[in-house]
Chains A and B, each alone.
Chain A
Amino acid sequence: MVFNIITDGKWIKESILISMLFLFLIALAIASLTLGAADIPVRTVIDVIIGSLPFIERAIEPGYRSIILYLRVPRILLASIVGAALAMAGSIMQGLFKNPMADPYIIGVSGGAALGASLAIVTGLQAISYMSLPLLAFTTAIITVFVVYNIAREKNRVPVDTLLLAGIAVSFFLSAVNSFIMYFSGQHLRQVLFWTLGGFYSPRYVHIYISFPLLVACLAITMPLTKYMDAIMLGEEEAMYLGVEVELLKKVLLIIAALITAVAVAFSGVIGFVGLISPHIVRLIIGPGHRYLVPTSAIVGAIFLLFSDTLARTIMAPTEIPVGIITALVGAPFFIYLLWKNKRRM
């Protein structure tokens, strides 16, 4: 696929951009590995990474090794994956709704996941296993999307405007329910709140084994669909005239976006702004063609969230600020700056 992109000739600019961004992500990851409550020199980091590969031995202090391999690496990987997933979902939602204000939570995923999470915490279910909270959160998120979808559905068609309204309505309802639960959560209040604000407190490799393949699979399915997403930009009816099976496309895109968002939120809570502004940043640099918008948004999302998360755990070390606060604090002004700079273009 990369070959196709490059040999096309016309899209050199976009290919170079993606490659550069990818390299930047890796550099950022390595830098993040060195930062934290305990600052670890780069040399040691590299030693640890290489040392973890089979058949290679390096002499390292055991403390550093644990921190890097069991705390920071999974956290950095997960932050990147979640950022990529949210940004990709955001670009899909903005294309589906033909609305630059759409974000991945617009059809109720966040409300649904929060419900599951707070239930798991308050009922003590989460003590059963470290996977029980994410599992419950994922399940309630998917059920919520299913409900929203069916509210909006008319026979075989899903009008996008109705879907938006249904998502908003259900989100409001769930928000009220969650507030209710929080009010009565007693000693669990802090935990529920922290989950809702989003963060990577105890990332495990299992999370990565689940989310990464899913992300890659969804990206692979979405890539051939990007040309149809461009067609929908002209209007759903116009896309039909171009031979696109619009209703089927909408269903598939909704499922993909809901899936990756639900998985992301299940593992990291509700982190805002990443899904909304990553596609915007990309659009402002290389334009709205989805063939590049979707994958580039994913990388930008990964960079943005990784950066925010590193900031979240270093800025007031050893305390951690919930990463959702950082994304909002960093994201909102940045977004306003972009808008202001490109007033006419939007």
Chain B
Amino acid sequence: MLEVNNLSVSFEENFVFSNLDMHVNDGELYGLIGPNGAGKTTLLKCISGVLNPQNGSVILKDRNIDSMSRKEIAKKIGVVPQKVKINFNFKVEEIIELGRLPHKGYFRISSHSLDRDKVEEAMRATKTHKFKERDATTLSGGELQRVMIARALAQDPDLLLLDEPTSHLDINHQIKIMDLVKTISEEKSVVAVFHDLNLASHYCDRVALLGNGRILNSGKPEEVIKSSTIEQVYGARVTVDKHPITGKVHVTPIHFPNQNLNEKTDKLRIHVVCGGGTGTDIMRELVNEGYNVTAGVLNVLDSDKKAAESMGIPHIQESPFSDITEASMRENIRLIKSADLIILSEVPFGEGNIRNLEAVAWALNNDKKVYMIDDLEDRDFTDDKAFDLLEDTKEDNLRLFKDTSTLLDSVLENTGD
């Protein structure tokens, strides 16, 4: 449907992007994402022919838009701007009818029945029929956006371009508009600029990430939206998670109000032995309070490992479906050696991670303080191996607590400032 080849644009002294290639298929919703100033709107303007690039071409259905008049382009491409201000009290229907303008001859003053039909269709698709007689200045943001989409649909285009279609809308209208856009994209192609990565991920068939003057990556949302890429391009720490059922990724910014994550402080080094999600809260609390946190051994598929990774916590990881290996064990002990305090979370023990408890036992025998919850028997799935392990250790290095919050309170009281 749409081919963008080797496109380069610069304004006066400022270069926006160069050698940009893009390809949009029929019947797809293609999202453009990227930080402010990356050139998303500029790219949209080049596609619609309003801006002339320094280099490169835009081919719509095998025709170069350079060779098309503004009117011809308007018959094929409909553009919905981000926000429109209407100064005069036009009726909604009059605005939608403007969409038929590219199809009207110069001398024609009244409407043909085809115009009438297309306008009706557009109103039905956008559910704007019920307020077609209303003064456009009285519409809410969401209603007006629907009207503008109807106007673009009335042009009967093959391609629809949307510039941040929902940025100024409340969440209820965001969903309504995006559902509408998704429906439209099944017949026509739609290219939309998004600020909201989660909206883009949820609705788009494919996305392109713009940054540093080019398209850094394009493809399915889950392929493009990765935490490392987002951090690199947007400069913000995020965690990207995949919904287990829908398969869509969503982005959550991570925010630690109390400290700069990469700073080494003079505070205590605490090593957290955890797994199965039991360590996330502990690690977060400690990092927030400014401690130097390490963790291990964590299985690669474990959510605690993801948490540790997003928080920048150095940790030892183990391959999936494998018992803790000798190498990981050694690394774990190394971290324990340099820690001031070891915390064992409420992680259940099985054959796969029993060696973590061995590490804890080692800690106790080597004069390392260990804090843990006093319910090991309930978490022992190794035929009491765990219990036996701790039997022979030095008792005075061990402190038991009845639950995690008491444990954390104690840590903060005893070692905090």
- A and B: real partners? yes
* Residues of A bordering B, CB below 8 Å: 1, 4-5, 7-8, 98-100, 223-224, 227-228, 230-231, 233-235, 237-238, 240-245, 283, 287-289, 291, 345
* Residues of B bordering A, CB below 8 Å: 48, 50, 69-75, 77-79, 81, 84-91, 94-95, 98-99, 101-102, 104, 106-111, 135, 155
Known: A5-B110, A228-B101, A237-B81. Contact between A244 and B70, CB under 8 A? yes
Q: A235 — which chain B residues lie within 8 A by C-beta? A: 81, 84-85
Please name the 6 residue pairs, one residue from A and one from B, whose CB atoms are nearest each other, closest first.
A243-B74, A243-B102, A243-B71, A288-B88, A241-B79, A8-B110
Across the interface, do B90 and A227 meet the contact criterion of CB distance under 8 Å?
Answer: no
B101 to chain A: closest residue by CB: A242
Q: Could you say which of B72, B79, B87 contacts A233, with CB atoms under 8 Å apart? A: B87
16 A-B Cβ contacts within 8 A?
A98-B87, A223-B109, A224-B106, A227-B101, A227-B109, A230-B98, A233-B90, A235-B84, A238-B81, A241-B48, A241-B50, A243-B71, A243-B73, A243-B101, A244-B101, A245-B70
Give B105 Cβ to nearest chain A Cβ, in Å.
9
Q: Could you say which of A228, A237, A291, A345 contacts B109, with CB atoms under 8 Å apart? A: A291
A289 to chain B: closest residue by CB: B94
Give B73 Cβ to nearest chain A Cβ, in Å.
7
Across the interface, do B50 and A237 meet the contact criterion of CB distance under 8 Å?
Answer: yes
Give B354 Cβ to nearest chain A Cβ, in Å.
66
In the bound complex, CA of A238 to CA of B111 (Å) = 21
Across the interface, do A242 and B106 meet the contact criterion of CB distance under 8 Å?
Answer: no
Q: B78 — which chain A residues lie within 8 A by C-beta? A: 241
Across the interface, do A4 and B110 meet the contact criterion of CB distance under 8 Å?
Answer: yes
Q: Could you say which of B75, B88, B101, B109 contacts A4, with CB atoms under 8 Å apart? A: B109
Q: Could you say which of A224, A237, A242, A288 contacts B74, with CB atoms under 8 Å apart? A: A242
Across the interface, do B89 and A5 meet the contact criterion of CB distance under 8 Å?
Answer: no
In the bound complex, CA of A240 to CA of B86 (Å) = 16
B50 to chain A: closest residue by CB: A240
> Which of B88, B91, B109, B155 has the most chain A CB within a 10 Å cutoff?
B88
Q: B90 — which chain A residues lie within 8 A by C-beta? A: 230, 233, 287-289
Known: A241-B74, A241-B78, A289-B94. Contact between A234 and B86, CB under 8 A? yes
Across the interface, do B110 and A242 meet the contact criterion of CB distance under 8 Å?
Answer: no
| With A234-B86, A241-B79, A243-B69 already in contact, 16 other A-B pairs whose C-beta atoms are closer than 8 Å | A1-B109, A4-B110, A99-B87, A224-B106, A224-B109, A230-B94, A230-B98, A233-B90, A235-B84, A241-B81, A242-B102, A243-B102, A287-B91, A288-B88, A288-B90, A289-B90
Give B158 Cβ to nearest chain A Cβ, in Å.
14
B90 to chain A: closest residue by CB: A288
Give A245 Cβ to nearest chain B Cβ, in Å.
6
Q: A237 — which chain B residues lie within 8 A by C-beta? A: 50, 81
Known: A245-B70, A287-B91. Contact between A234 and B98, CB under 8 A? yes
Give B275 Cβ to nearest chain A Cβ, in Å.
56
Give A114 Cβ to nearest chain B Cβ, in Å.
31
B152 to chain A: closest residue by CB: A241
Known: A237-B50, A243-B73. Contact between A283 and B101, CB under 8 A? no
Across the interface, do B98 and A231 meet the contact criterion of CB distance under 8 Å?
Answer: yes
Q: B79 — which chain A residues lie within 8 A by C-beta? A: 238, 241
Across the interface, do A233 and B101 meet the contact criterion of CB distance under 8 Å?
Answer: no
Give A221 Cβ to nearest chain B Cβ, in Å.
11
> Which of B99, B104, B106, B109 has the most chain A CB within a 10 Å cutoff?
B109
In the bound complex, CA of A233 to CA of B98 (Å) = 10
In the bound complex, CA of A7 to CA of B69 (Å) = 32
Q: B71 — which chain A residues lie within 8 A by C-beta? A: 243
> Which of A5, A99, A233 has the most chain B CB within a 10 Å cutoff?
A233
Q: A7 — which chain B residues lie within 8 A by C-beta? A: 110
Across the interface, do A233 and B86 meet the contact criterion of CB distance under 8 Å?
Answer: yes
A230 to chain B: closest residue by CB: B98
Q: A227 — which chain B residues lie within 8 A by C-beta? A: 101, 104, 109
In the bound complex, CA of A240 to CA of B79 (Å) = 10
Give B404 Cβ to nearest chain A Cβ, in Å.
58
Across the interface, do B84 and A8 meet the contact criterion of CB distance under 8 Å?
Answer: no
Known: A4-B110, A242-B155. Contact between A233 and B74, CB under 8 A? no
Across the interface, do B111 and A8 meet the contact criterion of CB distance under 8 Å?
Answer: yes
In the bound complex, CA of A45 to CA of B123 (Å) = 56
Q: A245 — which chain B residues lie within 8 A by C-beta? A: 70
Known: A4-B109, A243-B101, A287-B89. Contact between A238 and B84, CB under 8 A? yes
Across the interface, do B81 and A243 meet the contact criterion of CB distance under 8 Å?
Answer: no
Give B292 Cβ to nearest chain A Cβ, in Å.
54
In the bound complex, CA of A86 to CA of B79 (Å) = 36
Q: Could you say which of A4, A234, A283 contacts B95, with CB atoms under 8 Å apart? A: A234
In the bound complex, CA of A192 to CA of B84 (Å) = 47
In the bound complex, CA of A241 to CA of B73 (Å) = 8
Q: A4 — which chain B residues lie within 8 A by C-beta? A: 109-110
Across the interface, do B84 and A243 meet the contact criterion of CB distance under 8 Å?
Answer: no
Across the interface, do B84 and A234 meet the contact criterion of CB distance under 8 Å?
Answer: yes
In the bound complex, CA of A149 to CA of B108 (Å) = 30
B91 to chain A: closest residue by CB: A287
Q: A231 — which chain B residues lie within 8 A by C-beta? A: 98, 101
Q: A291 — which chain B residues lie within 8 A by C-beta? A: 109
Q: B108 — which chain A residues lie within 8 A by C-beta? A: 224
Q: B73 — which chain A residues lie within 8 A by C-beta? A: 243
A233 to chain B: closest residue by CB: B88
In the bound complex, CA of A228 to CA of B101 (Å) = 8
In the bound complex, CA of A251 to CA of B89 (Å) = 25
B111 to chain A: closest residue by CB: A8
In the bound complex, CA of A242 to CA of B79 (Å) = 8
B48 to chain A: closest residue by CB: A241
In the bound complex, CA of A289 to CA of B98 (Å) = 11
